[in-house]
Amino acid sequence: MSSLEKTELQLGYIPLLDCIALLWAKQRGFFDEVGLNVTLTKEASWASLRDRLAFGLLDTAHCLSAMLPAAAIGADQIGIQLQTPLVLSENRAFISLSQKLCYQLGIKQQDPVDVSAKKLIEYIKLSNHVSLGHVFKDSIHHYCLREWLALADPELAHSIHVKTLPPPYMVEALSNHLIDGFCVGEPWNTQAELQGLSQIVCSSQDIIPNVADKVLAVTQEWAQQHPNTLIALTSAIIKAQQELRILEDFAPVWELLVEFEVIQFNCSPNIHVEKYFTIQNIIRNFVQNSAMPKVTDFEWLFQQMQKWNNSPISSIQYTNEAQSCLLSATYLAASKQNKI
């Protein structure tokens, strides 16, 4: 076993389903097995998590994939390079609208994505105010929401103001009529639906490509200073991902999500059964094939930044910058083989 440069780690996360591999690795002792003492730190928002990671208060974190391209070109106003060795989830966001709004507009769950978008856009064009929320400017959620609206009206999709809220506050904001809908990862869409507040109208999988959503991220400097530690950390999380994919008894996973306040609603194989098994299926399939990050995902994210955030970056530049978001091929190969 190679010598670990650091064994005491602070790992930041936001309470979403796709932090489960981190929680599970801690619960099952996989970090301990590779010689790491990992402290899981729940962060209040993506902005807080990003800042604490960039400035060294966190060693590593559960990050939005689009944070890495934003950091690469300084669009996050910080400009500290972030890199990833591992994808934690792919394209698992949903768009929800208030049940009241869905009823008024005749939006049905079975509506094709372009139909639901058209119904909402037509309502807005009649001078009706609709407030929508997403989790962060640099996220697939932002891009997904605008791409959905663009199916009906590209110009309005560019001009509409969208509020930024941390994922755990989406349900409360909808309940208090601060927003009329949102794009967020699970379990917050399900929670709002079970509370009778909203209806899931479409999945990001119906709108955008199957790109990385959340990744394990570190600063480039940290990765250079702690290569063996990062390989050990990554291997432990990969082991958790693999076990979650095939685990027969899902009850301990659900209990862990409740313990960490990711799940805050009553759901089980006996109550809200369909929702329970939908969440179980999402967790088993967060990553379809390989959890190794792909440069094409980050090229797409740069394209979206250019399209929706008006980032002044050329296609040649973002191709090069996309590669810089990934750790080296040698490192990724070692991680994939769980070599320490």
> Same domain for 79 and 129?
no
Helix (H, G, I), strand (E, B) or coil at 302: helix
Domain count, the chain: 2
What's the pLDDT at 340?
A: 38
User: pLDDT for 147-186, tens place per residue?
Assistant: 999 999 999 999 999 999 999 999 999 999 999 999 999 9
pLDDT-derived band of residue 145, with 50, 70 and 90 as boundaries? very high
Q: Where does the pLDDT of residue 316 fall: very low under 50, low under 70, confident under 90, or very high at 90 and above?
A: low
Measured CA to CA, the distance from residue 144 to residue 91 in angstroms comes to 9
In a domain, 2, yes or no: no
pLDDT bucket at 74, cuts 50 / 70 / 90: confident
One domain for residues 250 and 223: yes
Residue 49 burial (C-beta neighbours within 10 Å; 0-12, 13-18, 19+): buried
pLDDT band at 1 (very low <50, low <70, confident <90, very high): very low
pLDDT for 102 equals: 97
Do 161 and 68 fall within a single domain?
A: no
Mean pLDDT value of segment 85-110: 96
C-alpha–C-alpha distance, residues 226 and 291, integer Å: 21
Q: Residues 252-275: pLDDT tens digits? A: 999 999 999 999 999 999 999 999
**pLDDT over 70 at 219, yes or no:** yes
Same domain, 290 and 174: no
Higher pLDDT, 291 or 97: 97
DSSP state of 340: -
pLDDT in tens, 38-57: 999 999 999 999 999 999 99
Range of the domain at 198: 93-206
For the beta carbon of residue 106, count every other beta carbon within 10 angstroms.
Answer: 10
Question: What was the pLDDT predicted at 249?
Answer: 92
Is 178 inside any structural domain?
yes
Joined together, the tokens standing for residue 201 give 């109208």
Q: Quick one: which of 99, 123, 96, 253 has its CA closest to 182?
A: 96
- Same domain for 20 and 167? no
Mean per-residue pLDDT, 191-220: 96
Instruction: Check if the beta carbon of residue 84 is closer than 8 Å to that of residue 325.
Output: yes
CA–CA gap between residue 192 and residue 34 (Å, rounded): 39
Q: Please answer whether residues 40 and 22 qualify as being in contact, where contact means their C-beta atoms are separated by less than 8 angstroms.
A: yes
Tell me: do 174 and 235 sit in the same domain.
no
Q: What is the pLDDT averaged over residues 316-333?
A: 74
Whether residue 114 sits in one domain with residue 145: yes
Identify the CATH number of the domain in which residue 245 sits: 3.40.190.10
Q: What is the DSSP string of 51-68?
A: HHHHTTSSSEEEEETTHH
Q: What does the pLDDT read at residue 218?
A: 98
Give the C-alpha separation, 37 to 39, whole Å.
7
287/242: higher pLDDT: 242
Residue 25, token pair as written in the block = 């690795």
Q: Is residue 269 part of a domain?
A: no
Lateral strand order in the sheet of 212-219: 37-42, 8-13, 60-64, 212-219, 82-90
Burial of 175 (0-12, 13-18, 19+ CB in 10 A): middle
As a whole number, the mean pLDDT across the chain is 92
Beta strands in the chain (DSSP E): 8-13, 37-42, 60-64, 82-90, 93-98, 132-134, 162-164, 181-185, 198-203, 212-219
133 pLDDT above the threshold of 60? yes
Same domain, 200 and 149: yes
129's enclosing H/E stretch is none
pLDDT band of residue 333 (cuts 50, 70, 90) is: low
